[in-house]
Structure 1
Amino acid sequence: MNASSAPSGEPNVLSVSVVVYQPDPAQLVRTLESLRTACDALELRRSNAPMELFVVDNGGLSEVDADLGKLRRDDFAVTIISGHGNVGYGRGHNLAIERAKSRFHLVLNPDIDIDRSALVQAFDFFDAHPEAGLLTPRVGDDKGDLQYLCRRYPTLLDLLIRGFMPGRIRELFSARLAFYEMRDLINERDVVWDPPIVSGCFMLFRTNLLKTLTGFDPRYFLYFEDYDLSLRTHELARVVYAPAVRVLHHGGGAARKGAAHIRMFATSACKFFNRFGWKWL
């Protein structure tokens, strides 16, 4: 593990964990630069807003390690956690979460571009709403169009249609999928309290809450770990969709990533339903 020295004294305002496995170098650097820009904007509003970044190397980080050095500075500590192998998405983040000493912790995908004002907007919201424990942002796609990543509790049929059916068949179930994706509530303007499930691509927690939840359930290697953590969060705090916090997401679904991802998706779905209850239709 390579680490720069973190700021001393009071806990950091923010810690961030990014788990990578054979990352796209250009996209990862762009994600981290957008994070730095958002942190710069935050510091203009808050006189003391140090941040620590944990990059968890599940494999293949060496190609971009040199670029991470550009991010290191006195108030932007970068810690690389490596040598553990590919332990999965949730367990990778847990390696950082257990080290975090901050007021807030951001679980961040390596394919996210963060708007410059996103952290300012998020922290202002948390200051105004102490009941909020987990914040999810307005997520756009590559074209900037709204992605509907908040979810109601899924049925097995919802997952099959959305993840694996051809577009022509999905159109036959458009009303059903719109309900599952909360399109009746999620928009560009309105804050929505307590969406049942939010996306793991950007989850901003109060750190003490996240530690109380002990982070992600390590039984999920990939997929559904965010569903699980979302549902458990509701037991202790409120979850909020805050569209003033804006990011772009460049990720894709399991079906587009090949047979191995389909198998992992199915395995994790079974673990999720076994824990929280099966809904078929």
Structure 2
Amino acid sequence: MKAKTAPHSASVGLSVSVVVYQPNIEQLTFTLASLGAACDALHAARPGMPVTLYLIDNGGLSDVAVALDRLRARGVLCSIIAGHGNVGYGRGHNLAIERINSCYHLVLNPDIDLAPDALQRALDFFEQHSQVGLITPWIGDERGQQQFLCRRYPTLLDLFARGFLPERLRWLFTRRLARYEMRDQINGREIFWDPPIVSGCFMMFRTSVLKQLAGFDARYFLYFEDYDLSLRAHDVTRVVYAPSVRVLHHGGGAANKGFAHIRMFMASAYKFFNRFGWKWL
């Protein structure tokens, strides 16, 4: 295993990448507005710090000029990357990652609302803990209840019970799923070091670490690319759950999105387990 270091970069500033495919424009607008408010707080604490947004259009992006103009008015440089077609989630982010020369990089979903102090607190944490290369935040749902999106290594039974069982049967696996979701370790108050897997909806990296990892594995079209990147990150840096960094997540599971998403989920799960090892029960 490589030494767990987080090399410092001479680069400055924060870059953010958001990949969209036929997005819900209302939700995307809310996400960009929350990013703008978080940038305001960041600039108040760090005047002149450059922030660059890369919006990667995998297809179907309609007019977001007003939302981007509002970000530019707040000092955020905005760039749309388009014309490449639907290359998938990880490869979409990689189109931005290969361009960046920042100190920190945020991988962000278009269905996330950031707390106003989320960026400031994440960068404070990085500055206070030089060994950290990846931060995952406290993630809440639309009711403000915590979503437990840190994970232990999954088994096939865990994935099936959590993703595909109807609610009336899922109670049979309550204890098992609670362990998989690390409910015995993760809460809204305490820092937790090195959760095995963290969610791709908000991954804040030192850019030097992300470059060292060469971004996402492009073999995953959708799903499990964050599992893969999380496990590889542990080889080169420390990963931390920092509950002082807070966001809300409006996303849903693959089973709620139709057969095409179920098929992509299963294809990516096969690639993931083939790479990292199969666990059945």
**TM-score w.r.t. length of structure 2:** 0.95
Q: Indicate if the aligned counterparts of 2:52 and 2:78 stay in contact, CA closer than 8 A.
A: yes
What is the aligned partner in structure 2 of residue 110 from structure 1? 110
What is the aligned partner in structure 2 of residue 255 from structure 1? 255
Q: Which amino acid aligns with 2:31?
A: T
Q: Distance between the aligned counterparts of 1:111 and 1:44, measured in 2?
A: 25
What is the aligned partner in structure 1 of residue 94 from structure 2? 94
What is the aligned partner in structure 1 of residue 4 from structure 2? none
What is the aligned partner in structure 2 of residue 154 from structure 1? 154
Q: Indicate if the aligned counterparts of 2:90 and 2:220 stay in contact, CA closer than 8 A.
A: yes
SS at match of 1:161: helix
Q: Indicate if the aligned counterparts of 2:53 and 2:78 stay in contact, CA closer than 8 A.
A: yes
How far the C-alpha of 1:61 sits from its partner, in A, is: 1.1
Runs (4+) of structure 1 exceeding 4 A deviation are none
Q: Distance between the aligned counterparts of 1:142 and 1:150, measured in 2?
A: 18
Q: Distance between the aligned counterparts of 1:62 and 1:139, measured in 2?
A: 28
What is the aligned partner in structure 2 of residue 191 from structure 1? 191
2:42 corresponds to 1:57 = no
Q: Indicate if the aligned counterparts of 2:11 and 2:103 stay in contact, CA closer than 8 A.
A: yes
Query: 1:28-84: CA deviations, max 9, x gaps?
Result: 011011011101101111123110000000011133245323322483110100000
Aligned-residue CA RMSD (Å): 1.1
Q: Distance between the aligned counterparts of 1:210 and 1:121, measured in 2?
A: 20
Q: Distance between the aligned counterparts of 1:70 and 1:110, measured in 2?
A: 17
What is the aligned partner in structure 1 of residue 174 from structure 2? 174
Q: Distance between the aligned counterparts of 2:87 and 2:122, measured in 1?
A: 30
Q: Distance between the aligned counterparts of 1:34 and 1:217, measured in 2?
A: 29
What is the aligned partner in structure 2 of residue 217 from structure 1? 217
Q: Which amino acid aligns with 1:197?
A: I
Q: Indicate if the aligned counterparts of 1:12 and 1:52 stay in contact, CA closer than 8 A.
A: no
Distance change (3 Å), C-alpha of 1:163 and 1:133: same
Q: Distance between the aligned counterparts of 2:261 and 2:162, measured in 1?
A: 15
How far the C-alpha of 1:191 sits from its partner, in A, is: 0.2
Q: Distance between the aligned counterparts of 1:250 and 1:237, measured in 2?
A: 29
Q: Distance between the aligned counterparts of 1:15 and 1:272, measured in 2?
A: 28
Q: Which amino acid aligns with 1:242?
A: A
What is the aligned partner in structure 1 of residue 201 from structure 2? 201
Q: Which amino acid aligns with 2:234?
A: H
Structure 2: 5+ residue stretches without partners: 1-9
Q: Distance between the aligned counterparts of 1:54 and 1:73, measured in 2?
A: 16
What is the aligned partner in structure 2 of residue 31 from structure 1? 31
Query: 1:153-202: CA deviations, max 9, x gaps?
Result: 00000000000001121101100000000000100000000000000000
SS at match of 2:64: helix
The number of equivalent residue pairs is: 272
Q: Distance between the aligned counterparts of 2:100 and 2:74, measured in 1?
A: 17
Q: Distance between the aligned counterparts of 1:67 and 1:240, measured in 2?
A: 31
Q: Distance between the aligned counterparts of 1:240 and 1:32, measured in 2?
A: 25
Q: Distance between the aligned counterparts of 1:48 and 1:197, measured in 2?
A: 34
Q: Distance between the aligned counterparts of 1:161 and 1:202, measured in 2?
A: 24
Q: Distance between the aligned counterparts of 1:172 and 1:161, measured in 2?
A: 9
What is the aligned partner in structure 2 of residue 14 from structure 1? 14
Distance change (3 Å), C-alpha of 1:83 and 1:64: same
Structure 1: 5+ residue stretches without partners: 1-9
Greater mean deviation of Cα atoms: 39-48 or 193-202: 39-48
Q: Distance between the aligned counterparts of 1:40 and 1:66, measured in 2?
A: 18
Query: 1:92-149: CA deviations, max 9, x gaps?
Result: 0000001111000000000000000111111111111011100000000010100000
Q: Distance between the aligned counterparts of 1:186 and 1:11, measured in 2?
A: 33
After the TM superposition, which residues 73-88 of structure 1 pair with which residues of structure 2 at under 5 Å, given as runs? 73=73, 75-88=75-88
Q: Distance between the aligned counterparts of 2:122 and 2:170, measured in 1?
A: 34
What is the aligned partner in structure 1 of residue 139 from structure 2? 139
Q: Distance between the aligned counterparts of 1:65 and 1:39, measured in 2?
A: 18
Q: Which amino acid aligns with 1:206?
A: R
SS at match of 1:61: coil
